Structure 1
């Protein structure tokens, strides 16, 4: 999706509003007063956040902003000191991760979590939910679960072909490249037939040859009616595929709105760049311009003001 095709705020938020905590027309995930501290450090302090249904939402912010910690809290991998959150109207506080996934809210990890000594196909089968053969009492009765296993295998093969991993079907997952593991983790998440897919830095460590494939798969999830929430540092990519952007800094949501609006928000520029307000984070050369300005600052005598 190009920036020109990005939905307007009116199509996503009530009354066309934007800004931290704005209400959405049809949110699939709502968090209220979620707070997580580690000693004196406040990692997450989110007053109100709504994720729009059937959209791609990017969660951005500088390192240490609390993005992954928020992911962990919402999916049951960590417990906050306070707060409530709901997925499709169902409270999730205190729910264990596997129960959250069964409801249709799945996630991937910044560091891929594949089982290296199992084959790619076996990794995929593990992603299926409600497997009859997982229970001890029925595991010894193969006639009860063989049909389901065939259906799961067919679903796995379909997804492996879609993600162009079918040639790796029988290989050990440990033999895959970093980018292929990212694809496998995303494909395995789809075995649950989720409604919300949460991707934690899906492009991290992926070579350029696979990046476009990952981008296409992410936009493809939206086309199939799923909701996507992803963490990313590549602002050009965010502007290219995101319908809505949420910005975190120091644990809090400091801005949200359509990509073009957010990229020019002074709060976002401050969070990323400090005084470098003249850099467009979403532009293709934004990172290069920022690097050049930082080098220029480093070379300047102490106390000398930049005149550009």
Structure 2
């Protein structure tokens, strides 16, 4: 990629993102997503208890915290894949409370999953075409009249090829998604999300299970989303990666927002140190002990 077209990875100034002190629930200058009083309880465990949080527009925000902090549950609530016990939230000023996931996606807020949801028995191209919104052929009556949707489908295919080429998956367009590697399925899921022309892209642990050879490619694509004018909110455990690409960091522990701020400064916050190294670090049977150990080292390095 030439220097004049390469995406910039220069972080946004945090002072341009928020109003007042960088603290839990602080106001943002131009929030794209605002949530109030969102709670979710499983049995006797309150997995999410978010009093107020705002996601800044045009920035890359990392949602971090120890295993069991409630990050993915919060993602599920905000995207319509789960229902809260209480709370409300808005996207672009429009209420999303109680809205099903497919309608949330149509409004421009899309997400990926820690465990990819690529449809393995469909080709890569078919997966991409599923991501295009507002397709005329989705109507039962219009579906039997090809002249109504043929031109639109050709345009969608051309757009899909363009995106797949950027993700270096164009040569796989006729392959079944099940034949792709774990990293390639992550790329496909992100590429498919772009077919809907989103405003906010939410990535749940995009680097989980990815071959190191594809890690830098995924990082570049995440940075490219911001370059193209999209807002990014992602869950991640790798602190080094968070410091590399995030403009803003939100920290969760025991379902609550305990800190917000600049990715370099927030790691020095006593609440964050306590969340990772102290009493709030609950064991998770599904946790990756290697990743957790690396995070502890990363935080300790920042304190030295």
- Deviation, 1:288, is 8.1
Name the SS for the 1:54 alignment partner. Answer: coil
Paired with 2:193 and 2:37, the residues of 1 have a C-alpha distance of 28
Kindly provide the CA deviation profile for residues 102-158 of structure 1, in whole angstroms up to 9, marking residues without a partner as x: 000000001000111111000000000111111111110000010110011011000
- How many pairs does the alignment contain? 280
- Aligned twin of 2:98: 94
1:135 aligns with 2:139: yes
- Aligned twin of 1:58: 62
Residue segments in structure 2 that go unaligned for 5+ positions in a row: 1-6, 280-292
Q: Check conservation: 1:13, 1:22, Cα contact below 8 A.
A: yes
Change in Cα spacing, 1:199 to 1:274, as seen in structure 2 (3 Å) is same
- Aligned twin of 1:13: 18
- Aligned twin of 1:283: none
- Aligned twin of 1:67: 71
Name the SS for the 1:192 alignment partner. Answer: coil
- Deviation, 1:287, is 2.1
Kindly provide the CA deviation profile for residues 7-49 of structure 1, in whole angstroms up to 9, marking residues without a partner as x: 333111013x201000000000000000000111001000000
Name the SS for the 2:194 alignment partner. Answer: helix
The structure number with the bigger radius of gyration is 1
Return the TM-score normalized by structure 1.
0.88
Name the SS for the 1:84 alignment partner. Answer: strand
Return the TM-score normalized by structure 2.
0.89
Change in Cα spacing, 1:288 to 1:183, as seen in structure 2 (3 Å) is closer
Q: Check conservation: 1:59, 1:247, Cα contact below 8 A.
A: yes
Task: From 179, 184, 190, give the equivalent of 1:180.
Answer: 184
1:155 aligns with 2:162: no
1:196 aligns with 2:200: yes
- Deviation, 1:289, is 7.0
Paired with 2:241 and 2:295, the residues of 1 have a C-alpha distance of 15
